[in-house]
Amino acid sequence: MTAITTLLQKPGALIECDDDPEAVFDMLCAKGWSDGFPVIPPTPERVERMLAYCDRDFDQPVIKIPPRFGAATPVRVAANAVMAGCKPEYFPLVLLALEALAEDQYNLYGTQATTHPCTPMLIFNGPVAREVGLNSGHNVMGNYFRANATIGRAVRLALVNIGAAIPGTGDMATAGTPAKFSFCVAENEESSPWEPLHVEMGYAKDTTTVTVVAAEGPHNINDHESLTPEGILRMTSGTMATTGSNNAYYAGQPVLAFGPEHAATVASKGMTKAQVKQWLFDDAVIPLSRFSEENIARRFRRRNAEQYANVPLDTPVHMWQKPDDLIIIVAGGAGKHSQYVPTFGITRAATKPLKRADGELVKSIAELKRG
């Protein structure tokens, strides 16, 4: 493993700056290495400390991040994790998320450069997520919790600083989304009436995983009245069925994050996740007539001719392609709210388990501590 002192001797690895947080922030912003918020200055000492739980070679890229295809080596990612405010024990989860984004089906190149307002939504499952303090309860998609805020932010900073997802030149998002600062959650497995996401995908419950989704910001589903599974699901499907969603035209796997109370009601008569997905697939539909004439002519009748060329205008349009494409998790605290997260169109979610460099699954973050 290359020592960090050796890596820092490479040309351009170190930049001199006044020893003052404001001066460092000004310098980083001037260079475009920023998300616009203040950062912790990534000094060599702090970067070295950030790597305390990294068992990978410090200079071997875990991913080349488009559109620049910059090499995301652990040492570079660590600098971004310092800037984001991560604790060193968060760092393996930052690397894991980047490894998941490297999977072809996620389409990182497309999602980085698109005009669509998508960003990686990181969904963590398993024991290490709890161990490092990732929040899965109240305000799970909001502010306050350091692990959620800084792991998501570190990934975003790497996408900008290493991948050059710079607005107007590498990130062409028309408007973007506040979720581009950080969008990182843990599933509330303890409050779920169903198997958690990673178990549904074939991993053991004690495996730690990340699932990455090219997500828009979440849309709230408020239902304080429904007492039955069908009632909650009817309100949910109504929130999902919108004409401006990429998922109505393309592929993609939107996320439904049930609040624990809604989840309990939906599962109260024994509905499985698969049954919930089928129910919502069938009910979250819009008649073709609700789209504009131009969209009916171009997107449906011409582009999706096999399905829509000659169908009547009352034909239902589903909000995603196959029932099982919907990702269901349970997240959040008490209250009668759930969240629907639409996605970019040409993308699939990717899941990765947390492993040591030797390929063994990590059961506790302490296993990765060096020295």
Partner 1 sequence: MAQLTKRGLLAAVVCSDSFMKLGKAQAKVFGVPDLPLLEIKHPLGGLNMDQVRERAAVAMPQLLKFIKTSREKTATEKQS
Under the rule (CB under 8 A), what is the footprint of partner 1?
67-69, 113, 164, 168-170, 172, 294
Nearer to partner 1 among residue 47 and residue 65 (C-beta): 65
Rounded to a whole number of angstroms, the minimum distance from the CB of residue 69 to partner 1 is: 6
77 touches 153 (CB < 8 A): no
Strand-pair partners of 255: 327, 341
Rounded to a whole number of angstroms, the minimum distance from the CB of residue 170 to partner 1 is: 6
- Provide the residue count of the chain: 371
Nearer to partner 1 among residue 168 and residue 359 (C-beta): 168
Residue among 201, 211, 179, 250 nearest 106 (CA) = 211
User: What is the distance in angstroms between the CA of the first residue and the CA of the last residue of the chain?
Assistant: 13
Rounded to a whole number of angstroms, the minimum distance from the CB of residue 164 to partner 1 is: 7
Rounded to a whole number of angstroms, the minimum distance from the CB of residue 111 to partner 1 is: 14
Nearer to partner 1 among residue 6 and residue 243 (C-beta): 243
Torsion sign across C-alpha atoms 141, 143, 148, 154: positive
Contacts of 243 (CB under 8 A, 6+ apart): 286, 290, 291, 295
183 touches 99 (CB < 8 A): no
Nearer to partner 1 among residue 1 and residue 166 (C-beta): 166
Nearer to partner 1 among residue 2 and residue 169 (C-beta): 169
328 touches 277 (CB < 8 A): yes
Nearer to partner 1 among residue 22 and residue 294 (C-beta): 294
Taking the CA of residue 260 as centre, how many other CA atoms within 13 Å lie in the half-sphere pointing to its CB?
Answer: 15
Rounded to a whole number of angstroms, the minimum distance from the CB of residue 54 to partner 1 is: 27
Separation of alpha carbons 44 and 125, rounded Å: 32
Torsion sign across C-alpha atoms 97, 103, 107, 113: positive
Nearer to partner 1 among residue 98 and residue 113 (C-beta): 113
Segments of the chain assigned E as strands: 63-65, 70-72, 119-125, 184-186, 209-215, 219-222, 255-258, 285-287, 316-318, 327-330, 337-341, 350-353
Nearer to partner 1 among residue 71 and residue 264 (C-beta): 71
Rounded to a whole number of angstroms, the minimum distance from the CB of residue 107 to partner 1 is: 16
Nearer to partner 1 among residue 219 and residue 301 (C-beta): 301
Nearer to partner 1 among residue 298 and residue 322 (C-beta): 298
Rounded to a whole number of angstroms, the minimum distance from the CB of residue 17 to partner 1 is: 26
> CA angle, corner 57, sides to 161 and 75, nearest 5?
25
Rounded to a whole number of angstroms, the minimum distance from the CB of residue 65 to partner 1 is: 11
Q: Find how far residue 44's CA is from the centre of its chain.
A: 29
Separation of alpha carbons 263 and 269, rounded Å: 11
Strand-pair partners of 355: 361
Residue among 179, 150, 180, 148 nearest 165 (CA) = 180
Rounded to a whole number of angstroms, the minimum distance from the CB of residue 244 to partner 1 is: 14
